[in-house]
Amino acid sequence: MTVRVARPIRSLAGIAVTALLAATLVGCKTTGSVDVTGSVGSPPGARSDAEWRSEAQALGDKFRSNPRDPDVAIRYAQALRATGQRAQAAAVLETAALHHPNHKPLLGAFGRALADIGNFKQALEVLARAHSPDQPDWRILSVQGAVLDQMGRHEEAQRYYASALRIVPDEPSVLSNLGLSYALSKDLKRAEETLRRAAERGGSDKRVRQNLALVVGLQGRFQEAETIAKADLPPEEAAANVAYLRRMTAQNSTAPTNLKKTLRSRAVQGLDPVEGDGT
């Protein structure tokens, strides 16, 4: 989300992680691509907007000269996403996927890009082709779970997260999104327990802790939520975040539509593909 009161939602409920979401959170990367297979890792990070735009321009020239190159398409889409051009990123990946219908890293990136622009049904169809039952990719499973959460299919999403955790037990990125899924299901106690596990294993990734702060705040423990948020944010920003959350929960005590939008946004943001690394 981008609604801000002294930058509240950007940091507490929608900080781009991913992203991953995702942004992304801690995770492995598929060899040979950067915006790979819907995997989870670090957000765009140290590069400036100007650097991303320069890279997008250079990669755009390469893509136009050879739209059949899947690696160039993946990298170009990554740069487009980093500069907010998500619809164009999806279009680039769709073009490349027409030439490489079985290229799994490309399909993973395309599925994630489709989810970015709200094409959830098509995203699930594409992501299902990005791995196979005999060789499941936990990162894809996690992205599929996030898409299902966006569609309101929380129990199904949680089964995907459980499958991912059977492959990578206690992976913090998956635990974080599972915790948010529980929150969407109104099981805040289980959400908090899961997010605390994620935070214990999440190392230096502040988004995991911010998710925990969000869920703690949703239970009315605003002072504790602010303490958690202050571990990564300036005190005044953490206070503004919690003040906004306090107002939002008060306004949505009977029909928490905005809270659901916040949680869904945060879950997807927590699954942004790995960016800036071609290993």
Residue extents of the structural domains in the chain: 8-269
pTM of the entire predicted model = 0.76
pLDDT at residue 258 in the model: 59
- The number of CA neighbours under 13 Å toward the Cβ of 192 is 14
Q: Give which of 121, 178, 191, 175 is closest to 151, Cα–Cα.
A: 121
**Are 172 and 205 spatial neighbours (Cβ–Cβ below 8 Å)?**
yes
Over residues 83-116, the pLDDT tens digits come to 999 999 999 999 999 999 999 999 999 999 999 9
CA dist 76 to 34, 82, 210, Å? 10, 10, 30
Spatial distance between the Cα atoms of 159 and 145, rounded to a whole number of angstroms:
8
Choice between 216 and 21, residue whose per-residue pLDDT is larger = 216
Place of tokens 């100007």: 50
Q: In terms of CATH, what superfamily is 8-269?
A: Tetratricopeptide repeat domain (1.25.40.10)
Residue pair 78/52 in contact (Cβ under 8 Å)? The answer is: no
Over residues 49-91, the pLDDT tens digits come to 899 999 999 999 999 999 999 999 999 999 999 999 999 999 9
